[in-house]
Amino acid sequence: MPSAPAQFLALTGEALGDAVRRRVAAALAILALLSLAAVDSCTACAAGTFTVNGIPVDGSRIFGWTGIALYALLALWTVAISGALASDHLQQSLDDGTAQLALARPVGRGVFALARLTGALAVSLGTGGVLLAGTALFLHARYGFGLGPAAAAAAGAALGAIVVSSLAMTASLFLPRLATLAAVFLAVASVGAGVGMAMLRTPSEPEVPVAVAAAVHLLGAVPNASMAEMVFPSHPLMAELVVEPLVVDRTGHVELSERPGLAWDWSWSA
């Protein structure tokens, strides 16, 4: 009788073949290519240099926030498609009789279920890995996006995909397929909204320091917000047009005033 590892590898190969033959696998590959094309288009602006009030500003300083947002969205998308693909990969084998044929051999149910999960994850994580790796290389070349943090984020997304896929495969034994799919996407959306990092791009024109104050105060009112990107000070007038200019400390933090309104007064002498 084959050993348990040999049985697992054989069943995983069968599960991987089943996953690849599904139409959704081809759809995932096409979506990955289209997503990379979209990333290429969305990050192209960073290659140039812009002039703000006569001062050249590197494009990556203006559009750099889009890199983190894109990468985070694609990581969540990888988790979602992993759960969606796994949501019926085990139940499908029960419906078409594949599971009964496999379990007729001396194979444990746990080994069979784990092999089905591994086969589904091989397709979804493979597609997501290519997508995230390509995106990270684009962002590294155009924004100076660190590859180390990108790899750590991808590892976190992979771990999340494993957890969500395991739960989705288990839920598929008790819930209809549409209900399982809805639960997967709702769970991923809730995680993204609950613990995701809210970012805000603030205006950088020197003649609108009050607009910067409004943007920062808005960010401070968002419960899960933690980062504001700004070119500051983009011009000396950013500090000269107001009585108490915005102060960014050495650690990059801003302490908001509790005075009424935006807590900024014009310096009419300027």
Q: Structure tokens of 49?
A: 């240099």
CA atoms within 13 A on the CB side of 77: 16
Categorize the per-residue pLDDT at 8 as very low, low, confident or very high, splitting at 50, 70 and 90.
confident
Instruction: Using DSSP, state whether 241 is helix, strand or coil.
Output: coil
Specify the pLDDT at position 231.
Answer: 62
Higher confidence at residue 115 or residue 58?
Answer: 115
152-169 pLDDT, tens digit each: 989 999 999 999 999 999
CA-to-CA dists, residue 39 to 34, 84, 164, 203, angstroms: 9, 23, 25, 24
Domain ranges in the chain are 4-196, 197-270
Question: Residue 74: is it exposed, middle or buried by C-beta count within 10 angstroms (0-12/13-18/19+)?
Answer: buried
Specify the pLDDT at position 249.
Answer: 73
212-245 pLDDT, tens digit each: 777 777 777 766 666 666 666 556 666 677 777 6
Specify the pLDDT at position 206.
Answer: 46
Specify the pLDDT at position 166.
Answer: 92
Categorize the per-residue pLDDT at 93 as very low, low, confident or very high, splitting at 50, 70 and 90.
confident
Query: What percent of the chain is modeled with pLDDT above 70?
Result: 70
Residues in the chain: 270
Asked if the model's pLDDT at residue 203 lies above 60, the reply is: no
Specify the pLDDT at position 55.
Answer: 60
Helix spans in the chain (H): 4-21, 23-42, 59-86, 89-95, 98-103, 109-143, 147-171, 177-195, 209-221, 237-240
109-125 pLDDT, tens digit each: 778 888 888 988 988 89
| C-beta of residue 232 within 8 angstroms of C-beta of residue 254 | no
Decide the pairing of beta strands 55-58 and 49-52.
Answer: antiparallel
